[in-house]
Chain A
Amino acid sequence: MIVRDDLVEAHRLSLAHVASPGARLTAARRVQIAKVAHDAYLAVEPSPPWVRPFDDPALDVAYRLARHAGTITEQWYEQIITEGMHPLDWVEIVGVVIATIPPVAFARAAGVTVPGLPAPIAGEPTGREATELAPAKLNWVPVAAPADKVASVVQALSALPDEWDNLWRLAGAQYMSDRQMDDPLWNRGTLSRPQMELVAARLSLIRECFF
C-alpha cells in the first residue's frame, strides 16, 4: 500500500513534535500524555467518561479528550483549572493529544501498522508562548491576542505557536490547507470535496461534536 509522502511526513513530524520539549511540559511528560491518548483511542472497552482513571489531572484530561471528547464541558474545564492546572498546560495537553491521535487513527483506518511513540528528547520546556494572550468569547481557553478575530477552531491553540503549527500542518496533509478550503471544488483527484465533507460530517456526528 502506497501512502502519499506528504501525509507520511506530516504524521512523522507530528509524533516527533510530541516527543520534543513543549512550551510548558518536558518531552517525557508529553510522551506520557501521548501514551494515555494512544491507548485510550484504541481501547476496546474504555472507562466511562465520568471516571478519572489516573488520579493525575493531565493524564485524566488526555484520557477524556482522546476517548470521550464530546462529553467535555466548560464546567469540567473550570474544575480542572480550579484544582491547579494552568490553562496553558490544558492547551498543551490538547496539542499533544491531537498530535498523537491522527497518525494512529489513520493507520488503523487504512490497515497499516499503528505507529508507536518515539523516545522523549531531553531538554527543558521551551517557554514559547504567544507574545500576548487574551481571554476568548469563542473558546474556553486563552488565545493569542487579539481574540475572536478568526474562527474558534483557528484560534483554539494559538496561545502555543508550536502546537498551532503542528495542527495546521496535519490538516494540510490530511484534508486541505485553509487556502484550498475556500474553493468548494478543490480536491486531490481522489475524493471530491462533497465526499470529503460527507466523511467529515459523519465522523463529527458519531463523535457528538456539535461544532
Chain B
Amino acid sequence: MLSWSSNKSGSPADIDAIAESERDAGVPHGAELIAFTDAVAGVAEEALVKARQALVACAGETFMIDAAAVVANFEMMTRVADGTGARFSEEGADHRAAISEKLHISGFTSAR
C-alpha cells in the first residue's frame, strides 16, 4: 500500500526504510512518524513522550492525533490477521514475495 500510494502521489517511497528506524522513507516527516510508531509499540513512556512532542513540533497536534489513530488501527488489524490466521490469496503472490524478501519478514511466525 505504501508503494502503491506513494507511486500514485508522484514521490515513490523508499520501502527498505520500513525496516530501518534511522531513515524517513522519502516521506515528509517520515523519520518522526517512524520514531512515534516505534515508541507507541514500545513500553518506555519517556521515549513515547519525546517522540510525540517531536511529531507535534514538526507537523502539529492534529497530525499527531491522526497518526495515533492509524497506529491504533494497525494494532487492531495485525491482531485480526494473526488471530484468525489470515493468509494472502495466490493473486499477487510474486509481488508480495519480493516485498517479503526486501523486508526480511519471511521468517516471521505469522508468515503463512
| Dominant SS among interface residues on chain A | helix
Q: A94-B84, A138-B87 are in contact. Are A74 and B9 (CB under 8 A)?
A: no
Q: Is the CB of A199 within 8 A of B86?
A: no
- A207 and B4 alpha carbons, distance in the complex (Å): 22
Of all chain B residues, the one with the shortest Cβ separation from A163 is B80
Q: Tell me whether chain B's interface is mostly helix, strand or loop, or mixed.
A: helix
Q: Indicate if B68 sits at the interface (CB-CB under 8 A).
A: yes
Q: B79 touches which one: A73, A74, A91, A98 (CB < 8 A)?
A: A98
Cβ of A208 within 8 Å of any chain B Cβ, yes or no, is yes
**Which of chain B's residues have a CB closer than 8 A to the CB of A66?**
79
A77 and B109 alpha carbons, distance in the complex (Å)? 13
Size category of the A interface is 35 or more
Partner of B108, one of A77, A191, A200, A208: A208
Quick check: A157 and B84 within 8 Å, CB to CB? Answer: yes
For residue B22, CB closer than 8 A to chain A, the reply is no
Question: How far apart are the CA atoms of A201 and B85 in the complex, in Å?
Answer: 19
Answer whether A202 and B38 are a contact pair too, CB < 8 Å, given A72-B82, A101-B79, A110-B64. yes
Known A-B contacts A44-B43, A110-B64, A156-B81; the reply to A194 vs B71 at CB < 8 A is no
CB–CB A105/B66 < 8 A? no
B89–A109 contact, CB under 8 A?
no
Q: How far is the CA of A105 from the CA of B88 in the complex (A)?
A: 26
Given contacts A97-B79, A98-B76, A194-B27, contact A152 B84 (CB under 8 A): yes
Interface residues of B (CB under 8 A from A): 1-2, 4-9, 11, 13, 18-19, 25, 27-30, 33-34, 36-38, 40-41, 43, 48-49, 52, 59-89, 100, 103, 105-106, 108-112
**6 examples of A-B residue contacts, CB within 8 angstroms:** A2-B61, A98-B76, A111-B49, A138-B88, A170-B76, A206-B37
Chain A residues with CB under 8 Å of chain B are 1-4, 7, 41, 44, 65-66, 69-74, 77, 90-91, 94, 97-98, 101-103, 105-106, 108-111, 137-141, 148, 151-153, 156-157, 167, 170-171, 173-175, 184-185, 188, 190-211
